[in-house]
Amino acid sequence: MSDSFQNARRKMPICKGARLKIKRANKHIADIETSIGVLEKGLVVTIGVEPNTGCEFIKCDFAEIDHRETFDDLPTGIGDAIHNLKCALDHVWVETLTRIIPSEDWSASKFPVFPTRDEVERALSNPKKNISTLAPELFRFVLNEIQPYSSGNFAIRTVHELDIEDKHRLLIPIGHYSSIGGIRVESKGEIWPGGTLRTDIPFPHFLEFEQGIHIKNPGRPTFAVMIQYGDLGEEVRVVDTLKIFSRLIAAVVERFERFSL
């Protein structure tokens, strides 16, 4: 075998399955980002009049039925991205164990993720397949460097929890028009500028005005898709968050590759 061929083999990713899962997750994330861009362009505001009272209102909604379907498809896309990131962790774990301890069957093994460090340590010290004795360096590596518990690696723990949640219910995104800016109304001959605060009220959303107020310009909405998860503590932009998780999970895979060399 030539030296050039051996060098080429050394440069190849060791954890191919994990990297393919991350690649697939990134494809889902890109599709979600594209869909959100379409939805942002398709969200419109129009002026209407309540026939019973004569009061004017602004209606905020998607322009096409297809936009509604695109919005409804977002939860499954988000769930698919999360699931592939979690699968990347399982792949890198099985691939690493198989390489280091080939005498055992690791095909059914799952990446060890638990709320606390002690729980991870107990899982890795399972008498049936005790990683702490079969591969003590790997045992210390996982506990001290990878840290797949709540006070350790945030991305691993959150992806794991979101994947579990998605198995039982859709990861429902919260659709916002963050605000409608540039609204102008006329009252008693005077023009008043205004806007709205962010809302998560389902579309279509109506902004009603009192009698005597006339809408001169309904403004323009801004749009964002958020997701809410308890451990995150707040609503976060779904695309930005998924991209961060993908980068952090990819970094975990790279660390396992370096450990395996």
Model-level pTM? 0.83
CB atoms within 10 A of CB 81: 29
| Identity of residue 58 | I
Percent of the chain having pLDDT more than 70? 89
pLDDT at res. 261: 55
Compute the average pLDDT of residues 90-95. 95
| Mean pLDDT in residue range 212-227 | 91
Give 174's pLDDT tier (boundaries 50, 70, 90): confident
Judge whether 177 and 221 are in contact, CB under 8 Å: yes
The pLDDT of 104-113, averaged and rounded, is 92
In the chain, where the domains are located: 28-75+110-237
Which pLDDT does position 143 carry in this prediction? Answer: 96
Percent of the chain with pLDDT over 90: 63
The 8-class DSSP code of residue 222 comes to: E
pLDDT higher than threshold 70 for residue 196: yes
Residue 228: both structure tokens together: 């809410």
Tokens encoding 85: 């990131």
